[in-house]
Structure formats: C-alpha cells, structure tokens
Structure 1
C-alpha cells in the first residue's frame, strides 16, 4: 500500500482489525477524527491516523476507558507539540506506570487460566 495515499474507513478497519462501526464511534466522540473527507464526504485517514488508532487498540486489552484513552492521546499530542513539557512528561510517566500495573495484573490472570487448563488436562 502507498502510505502517502489516504485510505477510506473500510481499508483502515481492515488494516487495524477494528470494525467500521467502532471507527465511526471514535470519530463521533472525538477520539480519532479522520484527517480529511473526500468530495463525496467519505472519511479519509492517513498512516499517522492508523498509528494513532493502533495506539488506541493496544490500550483496550488493558481495560482503559474511552475517556482515559482520550487523556493519553491529549498527553501524546501535547508532547508532540512541546517535547520538553515537564508536566506532560510526568503525566506520561504516570500513565506508563499504570499500564505496567495493568499488564502485570493480566499476567497473573493468564497464569491462573493456564493453571486451570493444566488441571482440566490432568483429569
């Protein structure tokens, strides 16, 4: 695919594994707006939009709410505009620490699930 060429919502959905309905919802709530619209009104997304969407998708398994995802994106956008912003850097560090905690909780759940499957296989 030509990454300079904007993609329509169906292509973005296919590339990211998310539904068109989800992408439309993200647009409606302001989480991920398309970079442009075609003359016919179709949403057009860039490779940068795809990267942003993949960041959002990676937050889902960790149980982040849509509001929390929006907060993270605001921090990321702020740091893109001003990489030296100490307040935003501290917020990002806090988000990273929380993500580590959430990931560790998922690891514990996965270990418990593995133990359960082992017990079932032994029967």
Structure 2
C-alpha cells in the first residue's frame, strides 16, 4: 500500500468516522497512527485507513471492541507471511471464519428487520392513501 501519510481530518473524511471516534479507537488499541508529525499530529497510512474501515463495518453488526481487536489481531498475524507454523495458521483462519459466519448471520437478521420495516412503511403509506380526501375543484 501507499506510504503517503494523512492527518486525522483526511482519515475522518475518508472513513466517515468522527475525529473523536478515531481517537477513541486509538485509546482502546484498535488502531495506532503509523507516525506523528514534528508537531505531534497523528499521521495515518492507507493500511491504517483499511483497518478503520474494518472496524467501521463491524460496528453496525454488533461486534464488541474486544471482538474487533481479536479479528484485527488474527488478520494481522495472518499477514506476517510465512512466520506461522501450519497449526497456528489454521487456527487463525478458523477464527476469521467464525467472524465471517457471525457477520453473515447478523446481515441476514438485519435483512429481515429491514424487510419488516419496509412492509410497515408501505402499510402506513397505503393507509394514508386511502384516507386522504381527493382535491376539490
């Protein structure tokens, strides 16, 4: 990935996360700025942005900060290219597979909730259409 550094404002705009949220994720250890400017400003790379996007995508699915940390740890370790023995590699893949299963399950639940909400809105719209008097000349 690109080594270009971005300040927190640009990262916030790209990830659609608030500055406060990004700082919170830093405080909880989910993401660490890749560098600091001479003035002490946080500097992020594309890799940091990708990490924040994983967190952003997990949040609405109900994953906890600990689960986010666990998944990020597993994927970080899988990215160490050849430094894992076969058993550790497979165990990490199993962890990632479990998160994938949990995410898929939650997406299905959300689809069901959305369908019910859309049905409800349509029912209300139909009721209003039946009860709005026609315009008089």
TM-score computed with the length of structure 1 as normaliser: 0.93
Q: Distance in 2 between matches of 1:15 and 1:99?
A: 23
Which position in structure 2 is the counterpart of 1:112?
116
Q: Give how far 1:82 is off.
A: 4.7
Which position in structure 1 is the counterpart of 2:62?
63
Number of aligned residue pairs: give it.
121
Superposed counterparts of 1:1-123, under 5 Å: 3-82=2-81, 85-123=89-127
Q: Give how far 1:60 is off.
A: 1.3
Higher CA-based Rg: 2
Q: Give how far 1:78 is off.
A: 1.1
Q: Give how far 1:113 is off.
A: 0.3
Which position in structure 1 is the counterpart of 2:135?
none
Q: Give how far 1:65 is off.
A: 1.2
Q: Distance in 2 between matches of 1:30 and 1:70?
A: 8
Q: Structure 2 regions of 5+ residues with no counterpart?
A: 128-137
Q: Distance in 2 between matches of 1:20 and 1:63?
A: 21
- 1:38-71 per-residue CA deviation (whole Å, 9 max, x = no partner) reads 1111100001111111111111111111111111
Q: Give how far 1:77 is off.
A: 0.6
SS in 2 for 1:33: coil
Q: Distance in 2 between matches of 1:12 and 1:91?
A: 28
TM-score computed with the length of structure 2 as normaliser: 0.84
